[in-house]
Amino acid sequence: MEKNSPARRNFIKQSALAIGGLTAAPIIAAAHTPGSINPHDDNKKLIIICLGAHPGDPEFGCGGTMAKYSEAGHNVIFLYLTRGEAGDPNKTYAEMAALRTKEAEAACKILTATPQFAGQIDGNTVLDKSKNEEMAKLILAQKPDIVFTQWPVDSHPDHQVTGLLALTAWVKSGRKFHLYFYEVNTGVETMAFTPTDYVDITSTHEKKKAAMFAHKTQRPVETYNDYFKPLEEFRGLEAGARVAEAFIHFKTQADKISIIGL
């Protein structure tokens, strides 16, 4: 396809730049959405929660997008389900939690996000009635406009739990906020991920890299080079950008009825 054909430009406008609050182009289904976001209201400060199982998951999965939100003046909260206690077999859980909490705080500072910790334990996360209620309470108390979370079809059980806790909170809220899923280590961890939306992260890419590399205990450079660099470039090719992050926007039944002209 020609690089700048009108068809290609339209495709990019509609599909690549469609995340709530980050777009100049209209969101096709905006009229049906139950949340409070009006894409034309530039003054509305959004509250965005990005939930991840371990310190590093939100940064690697969508740090570029979160940096764009905070640069635009929105409130970004990184909610870590655990403190990554099980990250090193040669250290105690307490030692590892202290180290990784510091790394998460440093990463959040770079991205202008507020770190929060939900108190579950790495490698042993629980999905049951009381944890669902706890998470729903924690999320809803902050009245988010958008929640990002991990796609639950994943080889890591903590990632599965994270995605489903957020999904249940969304259902319990009466689908009051927008829910987006992000991917990590696709092919090894995230599976069966077919994006609906893309964000061009070229402008915040260096910031994202600094935030990822703040997780010094996690071999961040190798992880980036082996998994996330090819992923960002691949998603960029799909979206017509140098580097991009991809998401699944989980829609209500009403939002799905959005074919143009019908």
Q: Which residues bind Zn ion (CB under 5 A)?
A: 53-54, 57
- Closest CB to Zn ion among 154 and 197? 154
* CB nearer to Zn ion: pick between 74 and 159: 159
**Cβ 14 to Zn ion, closest distance in Å?**
32
Phi-psi region of 240 (alpha: psi -120 to 50; beta: other; left: phi over 0): left
Of the two residues 158 and 255, which places its CB atom closer to Zn ion in the complex? 158
Query: Smallest gap, in angstroms, from Cβ of residue 147 to Zn ion?
Result: 17
Nearer to Zn ion, 57 or 145 (CB): 57
What is the nearest approach in angstroms of Zn ion to the Cβ of residue 107?
A: 14
Apex CA 107: angle with CA 241 and CA 47, to 5°? 75
Tell me the residue number closest to Zn ion, measured at CB. Answer: 54
In whole angstroms, the minimum distance from the beta carbon of 117 to Zn ion comes to: 14
Contact at 8 Å (CB) between 12 and 240? yes
- Residue 66 Cα distances to 98, 133, 173, 184, angstroms: 24, 26, 23, 15
3-class DSSP state for residue 169? helix
Token pair listed for 211: 């935030």
Nearer to Zn ion, 173 or 218 (CB): 218
From the CB of 211, what's the least distance to Zn ion, in Å? 15
Distance CA 151, CA 154 (A): 7
